[in-house]
Amino acid sequence: MSMINTERISSGIEGIDVLLQGGMIKNSVNSIVGSSGTGKTTFALAYLYQGLLNGDHTLYLSFEETPSKLIGEAEALGIDIRGLTNDSEDLIHLVESEKIVEFMTNILPALAQKLKHRNVKHTRIVLDPLTPILWEFPSEKEQRKVLTKIYQHLSSLGTVLQTIEEPNAFGQTDIGATETRVPIYLSDSVVHIQNLGLGGKYNRTCKIIKSRKTPHHEGIYPLNFVNGPGIAIDTSSVETVAMDTVVYDIRYQELMKKVKDLSKDKDPKKRIIAQIAKNLLGEREKKDTIQNMELVEVLTDKQILQEVKK
């Protein structure tokens, strides 16, 4: 996608803004990829909420859920959509995926015209989930053609956030999967959210897969649902200055070696466990200012992920 500028807008999720160096680029196309129940809609509602707080115009194109259901879901998060805008009727549209082209050509221009008259500073557009649109155009060639047009149109109106269902489960970074390849390729930024089910801090996680024009933070970060609007990403590991200590604890060294070996494993699931174990060990290292401490004497954190999978 070509972008007009590099001005940034807040995603509505503080941790994501930290990882994306301040937020999403205006008029870009951004994707949240995750399997069922990972928090994609919650994410999209937090994005919408931020827009309403900022006085942005917001447009939520839902391909599955009705506006009243989404308004109810937002309310459960403490987002009073009707109270925040006079335009709640215009805000959420249930679009049938087979009518997407008709919507784009007949209905959207009228909505865009309305925006022009209102002289809004910025518009946020949500597509949730994009997946039924992908089914409408099964060939990648078609998907690429149609989505390019859709994104060109939408990103000229505002900053787009779309959610994409990930077909595979644990450990897969589906950048190459046929089901998600085209929209991921065409996106300016991609955030991957997962429910790993490991328990503890890394039960749910978030990772930036790509972000054009932004040197983003690598790594896997804990994701939590929070009271109030949405999701919190724990980016404390980004903010902590890494200490250059030499750790003499033999057990720690053993586990770090296991982490190193596991991070080269063919199995993506094992590589994720290695990454998380490394984070957990790293956190202990930072907490201990005294060298030679028994850093892993008391293991927990699910016994450092079952001693880095033995």
Ligand X SMILES: Nc1ncnc2c1ncn2[C@@H]1O[C@H](COP(=O)(O)OP(=O)(O)OP(=O)(O)O)[C@@H](O)[C@H]1O
Q: Where on the chain is the footprint of ligand X (CB under 6 A)?
A: 34, 36-42, 225
Identity of the residue, 39 or 183, whose beta carbon is nearer to ligand X in the bound complex: 39
Minimum CB separation of residue 12 from ligand X in Å reads 13
Binding partner at 39 among Mg ion, ligand X, none, C-beta below 5 to 8 Å by kind: ligand X
Identity of the residue, 113 or 168, whose beta carbon is nearer to Mg ion in the bound complex: 168
Minimum CB separation of residue 43 from Mg ion in Å reads 9
Minimum CB separation of residue 19 from ligand X in Å reads 19
Binding partner at 303 among ligand X, Mg ion, none, C-beta below 5 to 8 Å by kind: none
Q: How far is CA 193 from CA 119, 178, 215, 294, in A?
A: 35, 18, 19, 33
Tokens of 130: 């994009």
Identity of the residue, 41 or 194, whose beta carbon is nearer to Mg ion in the bound complex: 41
List Cβ neighbours of 191 (8 Å cut-off, separation of 6 or more): 16, 30, 31, 32, 33, 43, 206, 207, 208, 209
Identity of the residue, 40 or 258, whose beta carbon is nearer to Mg ion in the bound complex: 40
The Cβ-side half-sphere exposure at 260, using a 13 Å CA radius, reads 6
By CB under 5 A, tell whether 211 contacts Mg ion. Answer: no
> Restricting to residues 1-60, which ones interact with Mg ion according to CB under 5 A?
40-41
Minimum CB separation of residue 107 from Mg ion in Å reads 22
Minimum CB separation of residue 310 from ligand X in Å reads 31
Identity of the residue, 30 or 38, whose beta carbon is nearer to ligand X in the bound complex: 38
CA distance 1 to 212: 9
Binding partner at 291 among Mg ion, ligand X, none, C-beta below 5 to 8 Å by kind: none
Identity of the residue, 223 or 247, whose beta carbon is nearer to ligand X in the bound complex: 223
Binding partner at 38 among ligand X, Mg ion, none, C-beta below 5 to 8 Å by kind: ligand X
Binding partner at 219 among Mg ion, ligand X, none, C-beta below 5 to 8 Å by kind: none
Binding partner at 225 among Mg ion, ligand X, none, C-beta below 5 to 8 Å by kind: ligand X
By CB under 5 A, tell whether 62 contacts Mg ion. Answer: no
Identity of the residue, 15 or 34, whose beta carbon is nearer to ligand X in the bound complex: 34
Binding partner at 10 among ligand X, Mg ion, none, C-beta below 5 to 8 Å by kind: none
Minimum CB separation of residue 62 from ligand X in Å reads 10
Minimum CB separation of residue 292 from ligand X in Å reads 40
Q: Which residues bind Mg ion (CB under 5 A)?
A: 40-41
